[in-house]
Every structure is written in C-alpha cells, then in structure tokens.
Structure 1
Amino acid sequence: MSTFIRPPPIDPSQSAIENTLELTQLSDIDPDLFTNRRPLWHPPGARGIYGGAAIAQTLSAAQKTVEPQFTVHSMHCYFVLAGNSEIPIIYHVERVRSGKSFATRTVQARQRGKVIFTTTISFVRQNSAGDKVLKHAVEMPDVPGPIEGKDDLDYGRASTGPFQSQRIEILNNDSPHPHTKKTRQWIKARGTISPAGGHEAHLAALAYMSDSYFIGTVARVHKLWRYAAVRKSKTKSSIDEDVLKKLLAMDDEDLKRVKFLHQHELERIRKFKNGESDKPKEPKQEIGMMVSLDHTIYFHDPRGFRADEWMFTEMETPWSGDGRGLVFQKLFSRDGRLIATCVQEGVVRLRQDTETAKPKL
C-alpha cells in the first residue's frame, strides 16, 4: 500500500504538480502529522523515490504550521535512507521556534518507523527588515529562451511528469576542466497552479523541480556514461539497462528524437548499435552509484515568482573527490530575477573493475 487512504480523484482545478504533492493531515492522531495523499514516483534506475518529492512535501507540511505572514527563506535537507514508493510516508513537523520575525520548523519523513529524510526550515515574517534594506543579485546569463511545446522529459512514456524541462547545451562543454562547465535548463510546472494553492504551492513546486538533474551535473561535466552497459552476467539487471536495451532497438532517426540524451550519448549508442569500436586506450569510466546526500535551498523572492512559468536554472560543480561531488544551482525567473540558490552534495562513485579492484573494508 503506497498511501494510507485511497487517493481521491484528480482535482481538475489543480495543476499536475499540486495533485502530485497533496498531503493528508492526520489530525485525529496529531495536528503536526501529515502523509502523502498520492503514490510517489520512483525514477527508473534510482534507489528510491524522487528526492524532490520529499523536499517539497516536507516544505508543504511545514508551511501548514506557520502563520500566513511568514514565508520560507531557507531549508536544509538530508537524505538518510532511500524512500520506498510502495510504503506511505509520515511527515512529522516539530515547531522548534515561533518568534516575532523568524520561525523554525524541523520535519522528519518516516517509513516503517525509520527516518528516511530530515530537514530544518526557516521562515521570515514579511517586511520584517524595515524600509531600508541592502540589495544586490547576480545577473542571469544571456541564453536562448524556452521553446513552447518542447519538453525534454517527454520521450514516449505512457504518462508525463508534473513539470516540463528543456536543456540547453552545456557551457564550455569542450573544456578539459569540469569545474569550468555549466549545465543549463528551463523548467516549469505543467499547466496552471491554482489560485487556491497560493504562494505555498509555487514554493513547493520549485522545491520539487530543484532536484531535477542536480547531482547528475557531476557526471555530465565529466562526460561519463550514465547508462549501465548491457552485460550477459549473473548480476541483477537495473532499470537503466532496460532503458538502454530499448534505445539500442531504435533506428538512428528515432534516436535523434529522444530529447533527454546529449549528443555524446547518442553517438555512443550509435556505435554500440553498429558494432563500431569505441574503446579508448584506457577503459571508459562509468558511474557505479550516484545518490544525493543533502540539499539546501535559499529562497530569495519567495512570493514574487510563478512556478508554472518558465524558470532558468544553471548548475556548476566546484569539486568532486573521495566518492562525492558538490553542485551549486541558481534559479532565475524568465525576466532575469534570481529567485533561489541551491546546493547539493551527493555520492558519486565510479563503477569498479571487480577483476582488479576490490573495495576496502
């Protein structure tokens, strides 16, 4: 059972992302307990549920426990265990502090009594800084705008996700220095977020989308193959391998229409298909494990944007090492205002050659 209560019919007055993130308040047990109203998404090849769902739903739960004049300005999250999409999640909000200018909440997401995700969220009262304030913000880079009707997340699946994405070519992609590259995309929630959702719905939607392709930036700037090669072995096949098998079955024209692949990935699949040698002198490195550890969002203009309008995101990674990677992300409204800054660290481990390398205990 993936929810405690049978999900109600989809509300047509709400956007897809609002329906996805709906919570049920367990008032009869505790007014500070909430649970997911609908089943959560388990991305293909991932160890657990999409992390953005936990980020967004903990924020939604916390927002329900503060006065309406308070707005989130930061949240600091830790992914503790992989979430199981077949089990309901319980969100427990603790009201740490409710001051005149700031309020603090912690939220734990639990499954089967174990914490799978935890966050501390800080809220600020609107206009508490007074009339005189310091202001500055980085400018949005000059990039091609989004193309209406184009969606890189739609690649022939039976259903589409609650938000749209359009990738832009990686900046400095030919540089030998990964830290100088920047991955970029346009994102927005599908449809129109309902007026009833208020600014809280737009903030939860932004939080949900902020986890899209985040730690994967490390793999992309290193141009690492992110789909496990199809191996005739006794090892358990991953869903990624199933995806690759479907891609290998396509002809070249169909492959060109698969929008979520970068050019170097398309070229490698084509060489696999045609039996061409693509082996460098040194074996090509592959990602063996990639999973988020923590996620921070600083909201700069929490009531001044719409998540159902195009937002531009730019990601860069200043460092990777010791099996981890760090990524920074800036989110801008379409008119160029910086609306959020995010930071994520994650496990980024290379696939090890079991013939020559064994893990150290």
Structure 2
Amino acid sequence: MATLIRPPPLNPEKAKIENLLELTQLTDIDADLFTNTQPLWHPPGARGIYGGAAIAQCLSAAQKTIPKDFTVHSMHCYFVLAGNSDIPIIYHVERVRSGKSFATRTVQARQRGRVIFTTTLSFVRQNSGGEKLVQHAAKMPQVSPPIEGMDDLDNSGAPTGPFQSQRIEIYKNDSDHPEEKRCRQWIKARGRISPEGGHEAHLSALAYMSDSYFVGTIARVHKLWRYSTHRKDKSKSSIDEEDLKKLLAMDDETLKRVKHVDAHDLERLRRMEKGEDITKDDKPEIGMMVSLDHTIYFHNPRHFRADEWMFTEMETPWSDDGRGLVFQRMFTRDGTLIATCVQEGLVRLKQAGESKL
C-alpha cells in the first residue's frame, strides 16, 4: 500500500509537483503527524524512493507548524535507510523551539516504525535583521538561456516527472582535474504552482528539485559509466533492461534530451549499438552511488518562483574513501542567488571480480 489513506483525485488547479508533495495531516492521532497523500516515485535502478521527495515533504510538514511570518532559512538532512515506495511514510514534527526571531523543528520520516530520513530545520521571522544589513551574494555565471518549448525525456523517451530540466555543457569538461569542472542546468516545476500553495509550495518544490542528480555530479566529472544492467550481488541495476534497449534505439538528438545522459554516455551507447564490448574498457564503473546527507541554505526564500526557470551549478571539491562531496548554487533566471546546497554521498566503484554489463 503506497499511501495510508486512499488518495483523492489530483487537483487540476495545482501543478504536478504540488499534487505529488501533498501531505495528509493525521489530526485524530497527533496534530504534528503527517503522511504522503500520493504514492512516491522510485527511480529506475535506485535503492529507494527519490530522496528529494523526503526532503520536500519534511519541509512541507515543518512549515505547517510555524507562524506565517516565519520562513525556512536552512535544513540539514540525513538519509538513514532507503525508502520503500510501496509503504506509506509517516512524518513526525517535533517543535524544538519557537522564539521571537527563530524557530527550530526536527522531522523524522518513518516506515514501519523505522526512521528512514531525519532533518533539522531553522526558520527566521521575516525582516528581523533590521534596516541596516550586511549584504553580498555570489554572481551567476554567463550561460546560454533555456530553450522554451524543448522538453527533457526519461529513459523511455517520454516527457515525464513533476519538473523539467535542460543541461548545459559541462564547464571545463576536458580538464584533467574533476574539481575544476562545473555541471550546469536550467530547471523548473512543470505547470503553474497555485496561489493557494503560497511561498511554501515554491520552497518545497525547490527542495524536491535540489536533489536532482546531485551526488551524480561526481560520476559526471569523472565520466564514469552509470548504466549497468547486471550486478553480482543481484541488487537493483542502474537501469532497466527494457529502458536500455529504448536508449539504444534513440537517435542522437533525442538522446541529448534524456535526463542525465551526457556526451560520454552517448558515445558508449553508440558503441554498444555497434556490438562493441565496453566491459573491456579501462574506465571504472559505478558500483553504488547513494546520498548520505543533504543541506540547503535558503537565501531569498520569498522572492522566486519554482515554476519559472532556475539555474543550478554543481561542483565537487573532493572525493575519496568511497565518499564524495558536492556543492550546488541555485539562481533565479535574472541572477538572484536563492539557495546553496551541500551533499555528501557514497560513491563506490565496481571492484575486481564483479560482473559488468
């Protein structure tokens, strides 16, 4: 059962991401308990649900327990266990502190009594900084604008998901130093977020999208192969066999629109189509890549729309010992810095003796 209570019909007046992130308050049990109203997405090949859903729904739950003149400015999250898309999630909000200028909440996401995700959030009262302020912000790099009307695709070649993205060529992609590279994209929620959702809906949508292939930046800057279909340990593959066949059947222009298929992936797919054995390549292959923690600092939380194009830039300053660190900046289209995100993830390569594609 994917939800605790039978889901209501989707509200056509709301954006797809609003419907997806909607919560049901379990008032009869506890006013600070919530559950997912709609089933959650399990990405193909992933160990559990899409992590952005847990991040966004925890934020949404916490926002329902604070005064309207308070806004989130930071949240610090830990992925504890893989979420099961077939089991409802219960979100428990703890009201740690409610002060004059700041409020603190913790949220635990549980399935069958076990914590799968936990976060601590801090909220600040609007305009509590005073009239005189210390101000500066990083500048958005000059990049090509998004192309209106061009939609991205999933592995099967269909436009899908609650948000869309357009990748920009990786900055310094030919560098021998992965830490110098920058992975860039335009991103926005599909449709139009309703006035009823308020700034809270835009913040939750941003939180959802902030996890979009975040730790995957490490694989991208190292040009690692991420499309295995067979694992020695019999765990889920990184892509379904049928989806791989669909990718192989696409032309180059279509493949360039598929989420997370980079130029080096396209080159390998074309070699596979020709019958070449890519398992003999010296290039390492990802064995496991999952998020461990996720932090978001919200800078201008009431001055953006998540259903309008936002620019994101990701870089990775370090990776070693089976882990990697990634930084992300998010800007409005006009260059306003709206969020800075940090994520550490597990990044393990396939070891000698493990089967490859």
Alpha-carbon distance in structure 2 between the residues aligned to 1:190 and 1:355: 40
Counterparts of residues 86-101 of structure 1 (less than 5 Å): 86-101=86-101
Alpha-carbon distance in structure 2 between the residues aligned to 1:166 and 1:39: 26
Q: State the Cα distance separating 1:325 from its structure 2 match.
A: 0.4
Q: State the Cα distance separating 1:185 from its structure 2 match.
A: 0.4
Conserved? CA contact 1:252–1:270, under 8 Å: no
Task: Give the corresponding residue for 1:351.
Answer: 350
Structure-2 change in CA distance of 1:350 and 1:136 (3 Å): same
Alpha-carbon distance in structure 1 between the residues aligned to 2:55 and 2:85: 15
Task: Give the corresponding residue for 2:46.
Answer: 46
Task: Give the corresponding residue for 1:137.
Answer: 137
| TM-score using structure 1 length | 0.93
Alpha-carbon distance in structure 1 between the residues aligned to 2:234 and 2:4: 35
Indicate the RMSD between aligned Cα atoms, in angstroms.
2.0
Secondary structure in 1 aligned to 2:54?
helix
Secondary structure in 2 aligned to 1:204?
helix
Secondary structure in 1 aligned to 2:123?
strand
1:12 counterpart letter in structure 2: P
Structure-2 change in CA distance of 1:251 and 1:210 (3 Å): closer
Task: Give the corresponding residue for 2:216.
Answer: 216
Unaligned residue ranges in structure 1 (runs of 5+): 357-361
Task: Give the corresponding residue for 1:62.
Answer: 62
Alpha-carbon distance in structure 2 between the residues aligned to 1:355 and 1:30: 48
Structure-2 change in CA distance of 1:164 and 1:234 (3 Å): closer
Cα deviation digits, residues 73-117 of structure 1 (max 9, x gap): 000000000000000000000000000000000000000000000
Q: State the Cα distance separating 1:237 from its structure 2 match.
A: 6.1
Task: Give the corresponding residue for 1:14.
Answer: 14
Secondary structure in 2 aligned to 1:298?
strand
Alpha-carbon distance in structure 2 between the residues aligned to 1:28 and 1:157: 44
1:238 aligns to 2:237 (yes or no): yes
Secondary structure in 2 aligned to 1:240?
coil
Q: State the Cα distance separating 1:266 from its structure 2 match.
A: 1.1
Alpha-carbon distance in structure 2 between the residues aligned to 1:164 and 1:88: 26
Q: State the Cα distance separating 1:228 from its structure 2 match.
A: 0.7
Counterparts of residues 163-312 of structure 1 (less than 5 Å): 163-228=163-228, 235=234, 238=237, 240-242=239-241, 243-248=243-248, 250=249, 252=251, 256=255, 259-260=258-259, 261-276=261-276, 283-312=282-311
Cα deviation digits, residues 224-268 of structure 1 (max 9, x gap): 00111568x8946626141323323x1645764653321211111
Q: Percent identity?
A: 72
Secondary structure in 2 aligned to 1:202?
helix
Secondary structure in 1 aligned to 2:311?
strand
1:309 counterpart letter in structure 2: E
Conserved? CA contact 1:152–1:167, under 8 Å: no
| TM-score using structure 2 length | 0.94
Cα deviation digits, residues 213-232 of structure 1 (max 9, x gap): 1000000000000111568x
Secondary structure in 2 aligned to 1:97?
strand
Alpha-carbon distance in structure 1 between the residues aligned to 2:254 and 2:262: 11
List 4+ stretches of structure 1 deviating above 4 A.
154-159, 233-237, 251-258, 277-280
1:23 counterpart letter in structure 2: L
Q: Which is worse superposed, 154-163 or 116-125?
A: 154-163
Alpha-carbon distance in structure 2 between the residues aligned to 1:101 and 1:237: 46
Q: Which is worse superposed, 236-245 or 303-312?
A: 236-245
1:328 counterpart letter in structure 2: F
Counterparts of residues 72-83 of structure 1 (less than 5 Å): 72-83=72-83
Structure-2 change in CA distance of 1:157 and 1:253 (3 Å): closer
1:333 aligns to 2:332 (yes or no): yes
Conserved? CA contact 1:15–1:190, under 8 Å: yes
Structure-2 change in CA distance of 1:195 and 1:255 (3 Å): closer
Unaligned residue ranges in structure 2 (runs of 5+): none
Conserved? CA contact 2:2–2:85, under 8 Å: yes
